[in-house]
Amino acid sequence: MSRKQITGVGPVARIGADDSACPILHVDMDAFFASVELLDRPELRGRPVIVGSPAGRGVVLSATYEARQYGVHSAMPMSRARRMCPQAVIIPPSHGKYSEVSKGVMEIFHSITPLVEPIASDEAFLDVAGARRRLGSPADIAARIRAEVLDRFGITCSVGVASSKFVAKLASKQCKPDGLLVVPADKVVDFLHPLPVSALWGVGERTEQALVRLGIRSVGDLARVPLTTLQRELGHAAGTHLAALAWGRDERPVTAHVPDKSIGAEETFAADVDDPEVIKRELLRLSERVAARVRAGGHVGRTVSVKLRRADFSTITRSRTLREPTDVAQEIYATACELFAAAGLERVRLRLVGVRMENLKPAESASHQLSLGEKETGWREAERAMDKAIRRFGPDAVVPASLVRGRLDEMEA
């Protein structure tokens, strides 16, 4: 595949020769959280930096490429990351900053095309077929996006340009960091077949082990296996899916808006906890966070679920569907406490707890109906007022009294 340099965009920006049949872009910010943190701490550029809890037992949220050279990667336990790269600078996360930059980046995408499908705060698919007459070829549009993101926010992104979502995402990964790679439609097989089979969507650790037992290590190896064999070994659906991907077949369109299916938050304790009051305070904190995100997204939800992970890493979940949809933290919290009590783990040491709101729908489509004799609590109005105060003065501007008491107890302890 022939490539040429694009000057003035990025040090490793690369494009293929023919992008005429490649309307799909996958744009992925490079080490997004870490890159945003370095905007305020430029003296750390070139050093291994990890975004995560400095003292907690959570996971790595982001790592610079200097840290990744030591094997550190997102979702890795922080304890392991510190062992692998003890010289790394660890920065606690600043979620408000990431949300602000993410919103601005998405605005850039929407200025290019209405067909934007976000799949995380730092990446999205774009279909730029309709923007070509106005803005040029897909590679030109990709270069424009990269330059604008760099100019406005001082961070870099990598862009894969291809004929399908699957190949575009693989291309963006292949050209990281700070790259641009086009996979021409007639070169898809050449691009895919040398890759390890683990690059395919749907190939996790167990599937990869099953494929290796069959002597399949590359995508090319997989492509040469008869479909009936794959269906027999992996199941009909999985075998059919992987066979199609091995030849670059992915018919899914870019969907302009994918509504949230659920919104959740979870926390790993610094030390295992078996005190029900401490756990309930954390459930309240998480319920507040979930409810705020539900309201910010213009949603209400009907199903509350809790996630409870024991010290031995075994995990259980419990859920309950409410009579009416809600976006009120106190209602979510009350249900979460009931689910926690019903799980029978009130004196069991827990490592992690989580709260999630499911069965979401637009708030305007759901009207809260008071049952006969039911009193309006006023919680909804109070929490909306809290939202306004937090947006203006920061996340600690308004805190429930029980959480303040919990902080004081922890400080005294």
Angle between the N-to-C axes of helices 236-246 and 227-234, in degrees from 0 to 180, rounded to the nearest 10: 140
Q: Is the Cβ–Cβ distance between 300 and 364 less than 8 Å?
A: no
Task: Specify the pairing of strand 157-162 against strand 179-182.
Answer: parallel
Question: Which pTM was predicted?
Answer: 0.67
* Average confidence (pLDDT) over 2-17: 41
**Using CA atoms, how far apart are residues 57 and 309, in angstroms rounded to an integer?**
13
Structural domains of the chain sorted by starting position, each given as residue range(s) with its CATH number in brackets: 1-185 (3.30.70.270), 193-246 (1.10.150.20), 262-412 (3.30.1490.100)
In tens, the pLDDT along 184-215 reads 999 999 999 999 999 998 888 888 988 999 89
On the question of pLDDT at 27 being above 60, the answer is yes
- 409 marked as binding residue: no
383 catalytic? Reply is: no
In tens, the pLDDT along 223-262 reads 999 999 999 988 898 899 999 999 999 989 998 876 667 8
In tens, the pLDDT along 98-118 reads 989 999 999 999 999 999 999
**Using CA atoms, how far apart are residues 270 and 354, in angstroms rounded to an integer?**
15
Catalytic residue from among 37, 66, 117, 123? 123
**Using CA atoms, how far apart are residues 325 and 331, in angstroms rounded to an integer?**
10
**Using CA atoms, how far apart are residues 152 and 101, in angstroms rounded to an integer?**
10
How far are the Cα atoms of 288, 385, 387 from residue 397, in angstroms, in the given order? 13, 11, 10
DSSP code for 185: G
- Report CA dihedral (135, 147, 36, 74) to the nearest 10 degrees: 80
On the question of pLDDT at 172 being above 70, the answer is yes
- 221 marked as binding residue: no
Q: Is the Cβ–Cβ distance between 21 and 184 less than 8 Å?
A: yes
